[in-house]
Structure 1
Amino acid sequence: MTMSKLMPHTDLKKLVIKLGGSMLAGLETSFFEALKKYQSKGFQVIIVHGGGPTINEDLEKNNITYKTINGIRYTSKEAVSIVQKALVEKVNPFLTKQLVSANIKAIGLNGIDGNIFESDFLDQSKYGYVGKILKVHEEKIQGYLNAGKVPVIACFGATNDGFPLNINGDTVASHIALAIGAKALFLITDTNGIKIQDAVQKEVNPEEINQWIQSEDIYGGMIPKVEAAIECLNAGIPAIHIVNQNFEGTKISKEGVRS
């Protein structure tokens, strides 16, 4: 993932929240109340979501094997249509409906038509039908925010030629956060943040993260999360939080220290 554009932060009242797929079926009332509280304080909220468990279940039903490479799901040609249906036709409407039921105005979106973001193959020979973000149309997202809605964005896109692309959710969330000049990016997972030797690190900096990747204390799906966090910091996002649905966990900032 490459982020070369340093975004100005003229509006510090936007938050991007990325929900891991494992969280979606078990979201608690406290999560929705926290969103409302942020909105009441004047924050505009964007949600990006994955759908790992639903995707895995649907792939297994179709006898399609799956694997991850460097924390990124390899997506074969036969798997990509199943991934698309899981994310766009199942998970996205389900989450959007949950928000609406909690009296939060929301609209389900994705990157297939290129209106929200444009994408292309990340590395087809290595990852298959997995995408990278080329451009985010922040004006489209801002339009929904100005209308008082929470954009709920599935991490799925397509090439300009129409080839479907599964995109890592942390990557999508990071690029959107940068494009809109978000105050913070929250990566909500089923863990309480970055754990090193079973201890949650409350606040860390990029140097420590790089050391932990080298020592393999950080591994698997946490790697793209922390790498996205570091790139966001370098591009100007003040802080990235890897947290549970109660917004408790690890804050990553350039000045962060272990606690």
Structure 2
Amino acid sequence: MTMSKSMHHTARKIVVKLGGSTLEGLNEAFFRNFKALQNEGYEIIITHGGGPAINRALEKENIESYTINGLRVTSEEMIDIVQSTLIGKVNPALVQQLNAAGIPAIGLNGFDAALLESTYLDQDVYGFVGEVVRVNTQLLDTLTAAGIVPVVACIGMSKEGQALNINGDTVASGIALAVHAESLLLVTDVAGIRIKDDYQVTAVETDIAGWIEKGHIYGGMIPKVQGAVACLQAGIPAVQIVNDALQGTTIKKEG
């Protein structure tokens, strides 16, 4: 992945990826802790998917949906619904909540100033699903330097102008790498990794491999922790799996 050419803004950045029930409404603890990070000097970029809202929209149209390797196979009919749901409903709802809480925010997607230039992941297998090849970091830097939080919907744009559905964690890690973020926060429905009823404050890569092997990490948490490890290996210093109060497990590299 390449970044657009720009005078790179060197402020400390955090990327926050919203998923799960947080997309249905953010709570007071989220706003409080979000503002605390801003007060510590961090510039924050939010990315989001919209699984629950997309599911409802597809059901309304009687369109069946399925996934392969955790990715929603997206037909030509579905991409229009995914695009309109994310950009038309989920994104403005999140932006409104942030602005109402006193956090200046602006909604974006891959089409805005070619923010997420993308290519088909594998059209024969996944249909209109993309992967990010270039991030317009200049746009993000300009907004964050002005004290505005970019809220990025996970819709990419091909060179031909076709909308592509992109996995939320994929967009979050791609943006985090492009802007040299200090940390990536994956906000989900649980307060991090729980092992034998105890939530872990920190973890390293080898811990995760062992926990998966022993069956302590299972189900939907497996792809999330594997994605976190992939982000670390790609160069992001720390990945946190947190709840909607931004509290949870920090995963770091060994040593």
After TM superposition, the score normalised by the length of structure 1 is: 0.88
Looking at structure 2, the residues matched to 153 and 159 of structure 1 have their Cα atoms a distance apart, in angstroms, of: 16
Between the aligned partners of 1:170 and 1:33, the Cα distance in structure 2 is 24
Q: How far apart are 1:45 and its partner, in Å?
A: 0.5
Farther-moved stretch of structure 1 (108-117 vs 129-138): 108-117
In the alignment, what sits opposite 2:147?
148
The one-letter code sitting in structure 1 at the alignment partner of 2:224 is K
Paired with 2:95 and 2:54, the residues of 1 have a C-alpha distance of 18
- Counterpart of 1:70 in structure 2 is 69
CA distance in 1 between partners of 2:120 and 2:182 (Å) = 29
Q: Distance between the aligned counterparts of 2:212 and 2:71, measured in 1?
A: 16
Which residue number corresponds to residue 183 of structure 2? Answer: 184
Contact 1:17 1:47 in 2 (8 A): yes
Cα displacement (A) at 1:26: 2.9
Q: In structure 2, what is the equivalent of residue 22 of structure 1?
A: 21
Q: CA deviation at 1:98?
A: 0.6
Tell me which residue corresponds to 1:36: 35
Amino acid at match of 1:182: A
* Residue 55 of structure 2: aligned partner: 56
TM norm structure 2? 0.89
CA spacing shift, 1:194–1:73, aligned 2, 3 Å: farther
CA distance in 1, matches of 2:127, 2:211: 28
Deviation at residue 37 of structure 1 after TM alignment: 1.2
Report deviation, 1:92: 0.4
Worse overlay, 204-213 or 181-190: 204-213
The one-letter amino acid paired with 2:75 is S
Percent identity, please.
52
Opposite residue 29 of structure 2, the aligned amino acid is S
Asked whether the equivalents of residues 70 and 221 of structure 1 are also in contact (C-alpha less than 8 Å), the reply is: no
CA spacing shift, 1:236–1:163, aligned 2, 3 Å: same
**What does residue 173 of structure 2 align with?**
174
CA distance in 1, matches of 2:155, 2:93: 16
1:173-193 CA distance string (max 9 Å, x none): 101111111111100001222
Mapped to 1, the partners of 2:24 and 2:188 lie a distance apart of 12
Where in structure 2 are the equivalents of 1:185-224 lying within 5 Å? Answer: 185-196=184-195, 198-213=197-212, 218-219=217-218, 221-224=220-223
Is residue 18–residue 187 contact of structure 2 (8 Å, CA) maintained in 1?
Answer: yes
Residues of 2 paired with 1:137 and 1:88: CA distance?
A: 18
Cα distance in 2 for residues equivalent to 1:219 and 1:70: 15
Inter-CA distance 63–220: structure 2 relative to 1 (3 Å threshold) = farther
Which sections of structure 1, spanning at least 5 residues, go unmatched? none
Instruction: Give the counterpart letter for 2:243 in structure 1.
Output: N
Q: Distance in 2 between matches of 1:215 and 1:77?
A: 41
CA contact (8 A) 2:2 2:178 kept: no
The aligned residue for residue 136 of structure 1 is: 135
The aligned residue for residue 93 of structure 2 is 94
Given that 2:19 and 2:188 are in contact with CA atoms closer than 8 Å, whether structure 1 keeps it comes out as yes
> What do residues 130-161 of structure 1 show as CA deviations (whole Å, max 9, x unaligned)?
11010111111101111110000001112111
Distance 1:135 1:219 in 2: 33
2: CA distance, partners of 1:214 / 1:170: 23
